[in-house]
Structures are given as C-alpha cells and as structure tokens.
Chain A
C-alpha cells in the first residue's frame, strides 16, 4: 500500500462484507420459503425477502467496486486520492441510504413505502432490482457522482495506465446506464426494453470492464508479469466483452414484444459472450504460470484464478445454455434463469471483489499477506463457497429442466404450482447447499481474524 489514502477502501470492504452476509441470510430465508410456503409469513413475505436479497447483492458489489477503485486508482496513478474525506462521507451516505431502504422494505408494506417516499412524483419503483424508492435512487446518483468526481480528479492528475483508463470507463459507464432506471414509461414493452439498458449493459457490459481492470491489477501485483503484456490482453478481453455484450442485449428481447429480428441478433451475439470469459481464464492461468515472483498471498492468487474459471462457467457456459432463441422459448422465466443468475453473479463479480479484498486487506493492515494458518482457512472458505455455489446451480438447473419438461414441453402441461410441487426435492437440496455457502462465507470472515506468524509488510 503505497499511499495512505488507499486505506479509505477498508470501510467499503467491511460494509460490503456486512451486506454480503445479510444477502446470504435472506437468500436462505427465501430458499426455505420455496419449500415451506408460509415460512415467516406475513412478517417477511417472499417479495420483501427477495428485494433485500437482490438489492443487498447489488449494493455490496457496488461498495466492493468502490473500495477496489479507491485502493487501485491511487496506486496506479501514483498519486494520493483527491479527497479521502469525501470518500468517507460518501461511504456513510451510501451505507445509511442502503440501510434505510432495507428498513423501509421490512417495516412497511411496499405500497405504503411508495406512498410515503412520494413515488407518484417520479414513479420508478416496482421493477425488478430497481425497487428502491425514487429518493434512494437519487441518493445513489449523488453518491456515484461524488465517487466519480473524487476518482476522476485523482486519475487526471496522475500517471495514466490502461488499467486506470479501463476502470474509469467502466465506472462512468455504470453511472450513465443507471440513469435509465429513471425512465419508466406507461408502455410495458418500452419499460422492459430500456430496463435492460440498466441491468444487462451493467452486468454484461461495463461491469466486465471493471472486472477486467481489477483482475488485471491483482494479477500484475501477484504474478509480477510486466504491465505491458497484461494491459494488451486486458484490452483484447474487454473489446470482446463489449462487442459481444452490447448487441448481446438482444437475448433479452426475444419475448417481450420487441421485433423478431432480435431473436437472430440476440442469439448470434450472445453466443459469442462466453469468448471473453474464456480468454480471461486463459489469460489468468497464463500469467500465473509465467509469474516472475512468488507472492506470499497465495489465497488472493487462488481467488483470481477462481474468478476466471467460475465467471466462464457461470456467465459463459450457463449463459450459453439458454441464450439461443429456440432454447430460450422454453426456458425463459424458469429456474434455468435462476441457476445462471446465481453462478454468473458469484463467479464473475462476487469473486473478483473478494479477490481484491483478499489481496488488499492484509496490505492495509500492514503485512504482505496473512499468516499461513489464516490463508489455509481462507482457502477452505474459497472451496466451501465455490463448491456450494456449483451445487446450488446444479440443483436449480435440474429443477429448471424438470420444470421446462413438465410445464412447457410436455403435451399435457402441468400448472405452475403443480410443477413446483414436483420439483420441491431440488429446492430442499439447494437450501442445504445454501447453508454450506453461508458456512463458507463465515469461514472467509473468520480467516481475517486468525493470527499466526507475521509476514514482512
């Protein structure tokens, strides 16, 4: 950690981990509600638990990206952060806004929350992942602008590197596409069409730039391979990501009323979306094999390699599974989508934030890496979480295949609830895997508090 102002990343990472635990807990609640329908009803109905689960995920990933950026940009730009004070203020604003929103979800019925937060003035609530009250959305925009101002000033006055450039493009893109969440037309088709400009162009567009930049930064530090090689590959990978991801948005436009040419464009381009993740995995393993130093933080290296593999599996393979229009016709809106969602989010974005935390936390606490004992526990956490997530995905995929067969493909289709009863076995198994995942998360958090022989900073 070359610059003292990089330490401002620590609260962001701690906040991110806190929300991560909350997200997993509410995930477990929902998992149980899938099999015991009235669990915690009416106190926490399913839709409320889901809002907390999905919103907590997005907020803690954003916090993770912000923390990573606050750590990475000064070091890359070789200059102190423009204003650490502003960064801390924005952290508390963001955390409090998120906390208030979650309390709002839990304390009052959603319709009441909409009324008391004046949603009618500028209605943006009630859409998946964008359930936050309009005032919270405005708060997010303010925090994002402050964050981007702070980083851009740092970026402009320091050394320009490809990693910083790509990260800043990704973060500015993230803020700009979020503005589409304020567009909520009466026309349902246009509402959904531009809703995807927030969701898809985030996770299969600009977030892949952020993912690439963070992974490249960690790989340079961990492998010692010279910057030139890694930055060339970074540009190739993110170009593949944008070229395939941009028009790849079409795979969401098959069945929502958009013209039918999207079925061809969406299928062709989204079929190419696994290519950047495959290139990223190749790139990560290649760099680690050609490493020129043995970095003491082996856990961070494991997370970085894991990110490549799981991103390719979750986002690439499981995405391709149901991205072609003729297949998607049957799997659209089934558990197959949920399976892809889980492993893609975990493999691509959860793991890259954890990679950055694993790499930078020891440095912010004054040592190159945690003790050997702590790293072993951390690696246990890696395998517990990753294997548990693979099983969650496998169980949901099995549930999805059976659901597609029973409810969509068979000549005598079952109703929705009848089908759900048939696949409840997989929901039970998914819940067990979810508990194992929580154990993995707790193990990961514990690994930060395990003492052992100190390593030189």
Chain B
C-alpha cells in the first residue's frame, strides 16, 4: 500500500488524541457535576445518620459480598433498593439475626452493631434507594 507511515506522525496523533479525549472526558465530568444535585439526594447527607451509615457500610466491608447500585461482589443480594424491597424493620432484624447457621447456606457474619448503628445503616440504605439511577434495577428483586 503506497503511503508513508511515520513514527513522528503516530506519536503526535497519540499526544493529540490523548489530550483531546481527556479534555472531552473532563467536559462531560464538569457537566455531570452541574446536574448531579438534581439526582443524588444530597440533601439527605445533612442527616448525620446517613453519613454515619455509609461509614458503617464501609467499615464492615459489606461490598465484599453485596452489590450497591449494581457494583460490588455478586455473592449476596443487591442492597441499593433493599429499603424498598424489605423495609427498615426487616433489615434491622435480619442483620441482628445473623448468621443463620443453616447448613450449606451462604452465611452473613454477625457484626454486633448497636441499635444506633443499625438505624444509621437503615438511613444510609434509604438514601441509596432514593438516588435517581435511571430506573435501575429492572424490578424490585434487584
């Protein structure tokens, strides 16, 4: 194929293309930050329980078995909409009642959370369930 193919051109295109894509990505990120307030329920973050609940979620590595908004481990149910699926009381009772000890069944450890911590966790899961996730998941089962 008669055409010249030079390393210098390929390198310049690499630098140009990389900078171009990064700027394009930054522009879309900037746009995202502008629109997020209408979608991410940030008002609920004024409630210290939600903030504490997120810390408890992290410190107990719930993401090691569960998914949250579809991201995480696939060993245990999606918890992004569990507040809507089960409601607060079920969530607290379930966490307190673990592990079930049923032989052969997947086991959730006992995290010994105080009543206050359980309420914080429920507040966080309520907050997560109200984020505008473009109608994901497809149904309540998550």
Contact = CB atoms under 8 A, between A and B. Distances in A.
Interface of A: 30, 33-34, 36-38, 41-42, 45-48, 50-51, 109-111, 114-115, 119-120, 123, 125-128, 131, 162, 184, 186-190, 192-193, 228, 231-232, 235-236, 238-239, 242-243, 246-247, 249-250, 252-263, 265, 329-330, 332-335, 337-338, 407-409, 413-417, 420
A111 B58 CA distance: 9
Given A42-B99, A262-B28, A413-B141, 12 more contacts: A47-B75, A115-B59, A186-B50, A188-B128, A189-B36, A246-B22, A247-B25, A249-B25, A256-B70, A259-B36, A329-B138, A333-B72
A110 B56 CA distance: 11
Contacts of A125: 58-59, 61
Given A37-B107, A247-B28, A262-B28, A128 B141 contact: no
Contacts of A192: 69, 71
A254 B11 contact: no
Interface of B: 5-7, 10-11, 13-14, 17-18, 20-22, 24-25, 28-29, 31-32, 35-36, 39-40, 42, 45, 50-51, 54-55, 57-65, 67-78, 99, 103-107, 109, 111, 127-128, 131-134, 136-142
Contact of B73 (A46, A193, A408): A46
25 contacts: A33-B75, A34-B75, A38-B105, A48-B61, A50-B75, A110-B59, A125-B58, A125-B59, A126-B58, A126-B60, A128-B71, A186-B45, A187-B36, A188-B127, A190-B40, A192-B71, A193-B32, A247-B21, A254-B134, A257-B39, A259-B36, A263-B134, A333-B72, A338-B74, A420-B106
Given A263-B134, A417-B106, A126 B75 contact: no
B40 to A, nearest CB: 4
The 4 closest A-B pairs by CB, nearest first: A47-B64, A126-B58, A333-B70, A37-B106
Contact of B65 (A46, A131, A189): A46
Contacts of B103: 38
B99 A414 contact: no
Given A123-B58, A228-B7, A42 B109 contact: yes
A321 to B, nearest CB: 16
A408 B137 contact: yes
Contacts of A46: 64-65, 73, 75-76, 106
B136 to A, nearest CB: 4
Contacts of B73: 46-47, 50, 128
